[in-house]
Amino acid sequence: MTTPTAPATRGTERFLASELAGEANFLIARARSRGSAEANARLAPLGLRVRSYSVLSLACSGLHPTQRELAEFLSLDPSQIVALVDNLEKDGHVRRIPDPNDRRSKLIDSTEAGQALYERARALTCESEALSLAGLSAAEQRQFLALLNKAAFPPN
Amino acid sequence: MTTPTAPATRGTERFLASELAGEANFLIARARSRGSAEANARLAPLGLRVRSYSVLSLACSGLHPTQRELAEFLSLDPSQIVALVDNLEKDGHVRRIPDPNDRRSKLIDSTEAGQALYERARALTCESEALSLAGLSAAEQRQFLALLNKAAFPPN
DNA sequence: CGATATTCTTGAAAAAGTCAACCATTAATT
DNA sequence: AATTAATGGTTGACTTTTTCAAGAATATCG
C-alpha cells in the first residue's frame, strides 16, 4: 500500500519532517541551487550563465548602472563585476561608458548584439522559471514573487 | 521633495523596476546571498557554516541519513558530503555508522557533543532567519515558508 | 556466475566568493 | 587653495564552492 508507482523525489521525503526542512535559509538555498542549475543549463548554448545574464539584463535595462551599482544590486563583490563586464565586453555585448558626472565610475550599456542576445536569453530564463515554479498555481506564483521581493530587499 | 532622510538601500531602488528584479531566480539568489552571509557570520564562532550546519542538523534528526540521502536532500555532490562529514567527524560531532542493510553506505549520526553544538547553532540560525524575514509579517512569513517549500520540492 | 548499478571516496579543474592594496578621482576639512 | 579623507574601478592572491571523472567495495539482476 505504499507508492505503487515510482517515488517522485525518491527517498528524501522522510526528511521533510526534519527541523532543517522548516528553515527558510535551507529552503531558499535548495530552491536556488535547483533553479540556477536549471537556468544555467538553458543559458549554456548562448555562452551565458545566470551571473553574466543578470549583468547583461541590467546593461540592457536602459538604466545605465555603474559597476558599483551592479555589485550592490547583485550582491557581488566589485571585483567580480570587473570580470563579468570584461567578458561581456570582450564578446561585444556590453560597453563601458565614462560617467559624465564622475570620471571614476563607468556606466554599463548594452550593444545591439547584446540586446539581441538578451532577448533570447530572457526567453530561456522565463521558461526556466516557469518550470521551477510549476508546483505553484498562478496566484501562488504572484504571491511568492511578492514575498520574495520583501525577503530580497529587506527594510534594514 | 525627494527623500529628506537618508536613503535605505542607497541607490539601488531604481533597479527595482528592471525586468531582472521581477525574475524569481534573481530574487532567490539575492535572498540566499544575504541570508547565508548573515547566518554564516553568526555560526562562525561555533566553527560552523550553513553547509556544515545543515549536515549536523540532519545528523541530529534521529533519521540516520546516508551520505547519499544527504547529498540529494541538500542538493550537493556526494563528494562534498564526504568532506563535510569528515570535518564534523574529526571534531567529534558526528559519527559514521555502517548501514546494517547495505555495507556500501554509511549512516550519519550525531554524538552528544554534536547534539549540544546543534542546539546552540539552531538558536543562532533561528535568530538569523527572524532578522532576514523581518520585513514580513508573521502571516506573510508562514505563507512564504509554505510557498518556499513548494518551490524547493517541486513535483517534477 | 556475470553484468550492471550503486555508495563512498579521491583527485583535479572550473567557478564563485573574499580580501587587501593600488590608482585616479571626488568630496570634505581646514 | 591645500591637505585629507572617501569612493569607484582594477589587480592579485587566496579560500571556498561546484562540477566531473574515475576507482574500490558492495549490491542487484539476468
Is A7 domain-assigned? no
Is A142 domain-assigned? yes
Is B156 domain-assigned? no
Mutation site for A-interface testing, chosen from B10, B12, B20 by largest number of A Cβ within 10 Å: B20
Count of the separate structural domains present in chain B: 1
CA distance A134 to A126: 12
CA distance A15 to A136: 21
pLDDT tens-digit series, residues A29-68? 999 999 999 999 999 999 999 999 999 999 999 999 999 9
How many Å from the CA of A125 to C1' of D11? 33
Nearest C-alpha of chain A: how many angstroms from B66? Answer: 11
3-state secondary structure of B97: strand
Chain D positions with any atom < 7 A from a protein CB: 7-13, 16-21, 25-28
Is B98 domain-assigned? yes
C-alpha cell at B1: 521633495
Is A4 domain-assigned? no
Is B33 domain-assigned? no
CA distance A78 to A97: 17
CATH number at residue B79: 1.10.10.10
Report the share of chain B in percent with pLDDT over 90.
Answer: 90
CB pairs under 8 A between A and B: 203
Kindly list the distances between the CA atom of residue A118 and the CA atoms of A86, A126, A134, B25, B110, in Å, as whole numbers in the listed order: 17, 12, 24, 16, 48
C-alpha cell at B52: 556544515
Is B65 domain-assigned? yes
C-alpha cell at A60: 540592457
pTM of the predicted protein model: 0.91
Is A33 domain-assigned? no
Q: Which residues of B touch A32 (CB under 8 A)?
A: 25, 28-29, 32
pLDDT tens-digit series, residues B58-69? 999 999 999 999
- Give the residue nearest to nucleotide D26 (CA to C1'): B104
C-alpha cell at B31: 535572498
pLDDT tens-digit series, residues B93-131? 999 999 999 999 999 999 999 999 999 999 999 999 999
Domain hosting residue B62, numbered range: 51-149
pLDDT tens-digit series, residues A100-146? 999 999 999 999 999 999 999 999 999 999 999 999 999 999 999 99
